[in-house]
């Protein structure tokens, strides 16, 4: 694995973080909408919120974060999307487990528990994005 502290990786990580912040907003809004407004049970509302946020994040990461290697990518759009779903599912699983454990077993507010879960999956999502999902032909 190459040096993660190169300028290009740092810039990508910052962009990844910006996209992640939009994903947190999308996730939290969709979670609130389904759970509070539509009375969907928290466990199902969380799965729906994560799914919508995951597609949001894939789209912006594909178009912006990893735009610089677009012409050298090894995989087409649908292959990248499938890889992203697989890799982001790891982070989503971490998010889900932490959300349910903290909200249901400690009484923490579900939106705060959700933010902690999101933070826990960030590093794995970036590394898998860098070295598997958006990988270019020269890396």
Mean pLDDT for back-to-back runs of 10 residues, the chain (139 residues) = 73 93 94 97 93 93 89 85 90 87 95 88 83 74
Q: Counting runs of H as helices and runs of E as strands, what totals does the chain give?
A: 4, 0
**Count of domains forming the chain:** 1
Answer yes or no: is 1 within a domain: no
Phi and psi torsions of 107, nearest 5°: 80, 10
The pLDDT, as a whole number, for residue 103 is: 96
Give the number of other Cβ atoms within 10 Å of residue 105's Cβ: 9
Answer yes or no: is 62 within a domain: yes
Answer yes or no: is 2 within a domain: no
Answer yes or no: is 112 within a domain: yes
The pLDDT, as a whole number, for residue 82 is: 93
The answer to whether the beta carbons of residues 80 and 133 sit under 8 Å apart is yes
The pLDDT, as a whole number, for residue 57 is: 94
39 torsion bin: left (phi>0), alpha (psi -120 to 50), beta (else)? left
Structural domain range at position 49 = 7-133
Answer yes or no: is 138 within a domain: no
The pLDDT, as a whole number, for residue 49 is: 94
The pLDDT, as a whole number, for residue 119 is: 82
Answer yes or no: is 116 within a domain: yes
């Amino acid at each position: 694995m190459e040096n993660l502290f190169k300028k290009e990786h740092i810039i990508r990580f910052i962009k990844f973080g910006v996209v992640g912040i939009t994903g947190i907003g999308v996730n939290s809004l969709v979670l609130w909408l389904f759970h509070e407004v539509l009375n969907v049970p928290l466990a199902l509302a969380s799965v729906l919120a994560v799914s919508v946020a995951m597609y949001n994040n894939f789209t912006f990461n594909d178009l912006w974060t990893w735009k610089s290697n677009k012409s050298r990518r090894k995989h087409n759009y649908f292959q990248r999307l499938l890889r992203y779903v697989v890799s982001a599912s790891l982070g989503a699983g971490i998010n889900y487990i932490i959300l349910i454990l903290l909200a249901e077993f400690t009484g923490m507010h579900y939106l705060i528990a959700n933010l902690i879960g999101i933070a826990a999956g960030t590093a794995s999502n970036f590394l898998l994005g860098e070295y598997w999902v958006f990988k270019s032909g020269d890396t």
